[in-house]
């Protein structure tokens, strides 16, 4: 691979002039010289290293996608179909706009600092953060930050989120309109000021507005893996008083359906199930899952484009994007009316 010095020698110019042409700084370089250097670069198929370009432009073109949600069991967060689709959307948008993506799981503040020290990232995108010591350390950096699915409000960050409250409300309302009155809410651990709390508030308000009681015994907090969902499904199969389950994620709903059926409970004939996310798994469960739709891939694309627009000095219409939700009707809910 030739160097800038080799190209400069052949073009009979200085290495600085070659560097300026490579980085588009040609206002003080003769047109004929630019053309001569460009032809030599193309002939050699020369590509400047990312490190060299970042030293000149002070931009690495690298966006960090940092995960702070540590799986309780073996595996990694990309095995979750939600995160796979979300990160795929980010990668697609960054690739189309000439940027690169660094994906890393970070467990604590010290590890976060190590990532910032070792990688010259232009900005970072993170999911599901809360206002805690980790976030406090994050905003001390000088990097642009896009938070996804986070209810942290801070002038230093951009947010891309979802109308989680409405999703919880319309899921529960849908079950109520189909004649269900004793409805379980199943979810991973509900944290204050998080997406699950908003979905739970929607569930509670839909019951209240319909004149139905909120029963604490109908709230189940479980991990979101298929195995945990199956275990919960087997547990819920023992309940003879409930007719419907609202699971706050499709992965959990799929596990619950499997567990119910293992225990001999038919879905939806005996218990109806509605999910949240509209991931591909909702179309391969049996029966296919009625669920709350969100465009997970578009959420990733939106976060990436917001970051790049900011880095490139383009106008940002709003610092807080809230994406819509809707019901997708399939076959996992039975009408009792």
Looking at residue 12, which CATH number applies to its domain?
Answer: 1.10.260.40
Q: Do residues 155 and 172 both lie within one domain?
A: no
The answer to whether the beta carbons of residues 249 and 224 sit under 8 Å apart is: yes
Answer yes or no: is 53 within a domain: no
Q: Do residues 129 and 217 both lie within one domain?
A: no
d(CA 86, CA 81): 8
Check residue 310 and give its pLDDT: 96
Answer yes or no: is 181 within a domain: yes
The answer to whether the beta carbons of residues 180 and 145 sit under 8 Å apart is: no
Select the more confidently predicted residue: 15 or 307.
Answer: 307
Check residue 48 and give its pLDDT: 62
Check residue 37 and give its pLDDT: 87
Cβ neighbours of residue 178 closer than 8 Å, sequence gap 6 or more: 244, 272, 333, 334, 335, 336, 337
Answer yes or no: is 334 within a domain: no
Q: Do residues 170 and 157 both lie within one domain?
A: no
Q: Do residues 73 and 110 both lie within one domain?
A: yes
* Average of per-residue pLDDT across 47-66: 69
How many Cα atoms within 13 Å fall on the side-chain side of residue 14? 4
Q: Do residues 124 and 26 both lie within one domain?
A: no
Residue 296 three-state SS: helix
Q: Do residues 143 and 178 both lie within one domain?
A: no
Answer yes or no: is 329 within a domain: no
Q: Encode 125-137 in three state secondary structure.
A: EEECCCCCHHHHH
Residue 205 has pLDDT above 70, yes or no: yes
The answer to whether the beta carbons of residues 150 and 129 sit under 8 Å apart is: yes
Q: Do residues 302 and 287 both lie within one domain?
A: no
pLDDT band, residue 80 (cuts 50/70/90): confident
Check residue 324 and give its pLDDT: 97
Answer yes or no: is 330 within a domain: no
Residue 74 has pLDDT above 70, yes or no: no
Q: Do residues 25 and 172 both lie within one domain?
A: no
Residue 264 has pLDDT above 90, yes or no: yes
Residue 92 three-state SS: helix
Q: Do residues 74 and 26 both lie within one domain?
A: no
The answer to whether the beta carbons of residues 42 and 10 sit under 8 Å apart is: no
- The token duo for 320 is 């807080």
Q: Do residues 222 and 267 both lie within one domain?
A: yes
Q: Do residues 301 and 159 both lie within one domain?
A: yes
Check residue 42 and give its pLDDT: 79
Task: Pick the range with the lowest mean pLDDT from 81-85, 157-161, 294-298.
Answer: 81-85
Residue 73 has pLDDT above 60, yes or no: no
| Paired strand residues for 323 | 162
The answer to whether the beta carbons of residues 260 and 286 sit under 8 Å apart is: no
Q: Do residues 302 and 184 both lie within one domain?
A: no
Answer yes or no: is 240 within a domain: yes
* Average of per-residue pLDDT across 285-314: 97
Write out the residue range of the structural domain in which residue 183 sits. Answer: 164-294
Residue 71 has pLDDT above 60, yes or no: no
CATH number, domain of 312, equals: 3.40.50.2300
Residue 76 has pLDDT above 50, yes or no: yes
Residue 55 has pLDDT above 50, yes or no: no
**Tally of domains in the chain:** 3
d(CA 207, CA 176): 8
């Amino acid at each position: 691979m030739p160097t800038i010095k080799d190209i400069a020698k052949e073009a009979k110019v200085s290495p600085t002039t070659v560097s300026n042409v490579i980085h588009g700084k040609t206002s003080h370089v003769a047109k004929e010289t630019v053309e001569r250097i460009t032809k030599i670069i193309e002939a050699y198929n020369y590509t400047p290293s990312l490190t060299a370009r970042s030293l000149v432009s002070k931009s690495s073109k690298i966006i960090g996608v940092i995960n702070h949600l540590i799986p309780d069991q073996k595996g990694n967060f990309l095995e979750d179909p939600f995160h796979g689709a979300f990160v795929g959307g980010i990668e697609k948008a960054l690739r189309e706009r000439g940027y690169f993506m660094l994906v890393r799981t970070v467990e604590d503040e010290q590890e976060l600092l190590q990532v910032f020290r070792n990688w010259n990232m232009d900005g970072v995108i993170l999911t599901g953060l809360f206002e805690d010591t980790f976030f406090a350390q994050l905003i001390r950096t000088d990097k642009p930050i896009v938070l996804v699915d986070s209810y942290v409000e801070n002038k230093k960050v951009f947010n891309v989120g979802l109308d989680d409250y409405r999703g919880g409300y319309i899921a529960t309302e849908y079950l109520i309109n189909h004649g269900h009155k004793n409805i379980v809410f199943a979810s991973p651990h509900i944290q204050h000021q998080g997406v699950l709390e908003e979905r739970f508030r929607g569930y509670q308000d839909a019951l209240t507005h319909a004149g139905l009681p909120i029963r604490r015994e109908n709230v189940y907090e479980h991990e979101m893996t298929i195995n945990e969902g199956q275990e919960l499904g087997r547990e819920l199969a023992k309940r003879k008083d409930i007719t419907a389950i609202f699971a706050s994620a499709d992965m959990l709903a799929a596990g619950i359906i499997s567990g119910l059926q293992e225990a001999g409970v038919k879905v939806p004939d005996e218990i109806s199930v509605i999910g949240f996310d509209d991931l591909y798994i909702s179309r391969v469960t049996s029966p296919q899952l009625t669920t709350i739709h969100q465009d997970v891939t578009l959420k990733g694309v939106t976060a990436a484009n917001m970051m790049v627009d900011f880095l490139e000095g383009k106008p940002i219409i709003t610092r807080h994007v809230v994406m819509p939700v809707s019901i997708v009707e399939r076959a996992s809910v039975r009408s009792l009316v």
